[in-house]
Structure 1
Amino acid sequence: MTGPSSESQYVTFSLDNEVFAVPVSVVREILDHEDAFRIPHGPDYLLGLRDVRGQGVPVIDLRLRLGMTKTQKTHNTRALVLDVPIDGKILTLGLVADRVYEVVPFRNDEIEGAPDIGVRWPSDYISGVVRRNGAFVVIVDLARLFSSSEVAMMGTANRLAATA
């Protein structure tokens, strides 16, 4: 059992000037960003498939998914390869970030609930916020980031890549 002062580990990364975090437990690896194999008729935020150690992994431009401008690739751009538990299954996907910073512990009692106003993206995708170094770190709720039809589409893309 964890108490209110127990800690959880998060990987922090940036999109534009905003800092986000995901639980370290879902991060498989962090790779340099490479162009993905484009999937026809996919949503704009689905950049395509990328080979990750023999597995076709759908790659998401999180900036586009959150209603921001498209990621502009730089030497700092990275792809976080994540294994996200959704609806009793594991969805493996790559999330493009402008920059990945570090693994940091957040005390559970430091994590505030998602704000209802004052952010540029829908707060449904926020599991909490943490104040850090005079700014906020937004913790992304990966399971709520995609609808069930989007999850099914990415799972199908994943399976198609495995058979190709």
Structure 2
Amino acid sequence: MADENEMMQFLTFKLDDEVFALHIEKIREVLEFTSVTKMPRTPEYMRGVINLRGSVVPVIDLKQKFGMSHTKKTVDTCVVITEVEMEGDKVILGAMVDSVKEVMELERSAIEPPPKIGTQLSNEYIEGMGKQGEEFIIILDIDKVFSTIDMSVVAEMKGQVPPEE
């Protein structure tokens, strides 16, 4: 049984004005957004691929995946490199976000279940709601967010090697 006082770490980031979080153990690194190589015949939310030290990493625009407007490139735009479980395999994917805020700690007991109503986001993507001060933070289950992505599209994208920056 999980300890209610166990401290959990999350990386927080913004999509528009909402604050989201991912479990820190799912994060490989955070990159400044440079450019992505667009791939033909992919869903709109698949922004393309980047070359990360010789590995091809598909980049998903989280805002578009969630039905929001596409992410505009600013000085704060980042790609969060995540390791997700897809069809039994560990896959490296990039999640494009408006800005990364901080690493925060929350006690397991401070995480509430997702709301039944009132969120535009599918509840299957939300692991829970954290609270920091007066601000609620949507904790995402990144495996479930990316589980709806067709693995054949990811495999095809990984077969395309963009030039190194």
Are the equivalent residues in 2 in contact too, given 1:91–1:155 (CA < 8 A)?
A: no
Query: Is the 2:85–2:143 contact (alpha carbons within 8 Å) kept by the matching residues of 1?
Result: yes
After superposition, where does 1:13-162 map in structure 2 within 5 Å?
13-147=13-147, 150-158=150-158, 160-161=159-160
More divergent stretch after superposition (69-78 vs 85-94): 85-94
SS in 2 for 1:25: helix
Counterparts of 1:128 and 1:35, CA distance in 2: 32
Matched residues in 1 for 2:160 and 2:2: separation?
40
Work out whether residues 86 and 146 of structure 2, in 8 Å CA contact, stay in contact via their aligned partners in 1.
no
- 1:56-99 Cα distance to aligned partner (Å, 9 max, x none): 10001000000111111110111101111233211111101111
Measure the CA separation in 1 of the matches of 2:45 and 2:148.
16
Q: Tell me: CA distance 1:126–1:149, structure 2 relative to 1, closer, same or farther (3 Å).
A: closer
Distance 1:89 1:31, change over 3 A: same
Give the conservation status (yes or no) of the 8 Å contact 2:86–2:147: no
TM-score (norm 1): 0.92
Structure 2: runs of 5 or more not aligned = none
Unaligned runs of 5+ in 1: none
Are the equivalent residues in 2 in contact too, given 1:13–1:99 (CA < 8 A)? yes
Letter in 2 for 1:50: I
Q: 1:135 offset after TM fit, Å?
A: 1.6
Paired amino acid for 1:153: V
Give the 3-state SS of the residue equivalent to 1:161 in structure 2. coil
Q: How many residues align?
A: 163
What secondary structure is seen at the aligned counterpart in 2 of 1:146?
A: helix
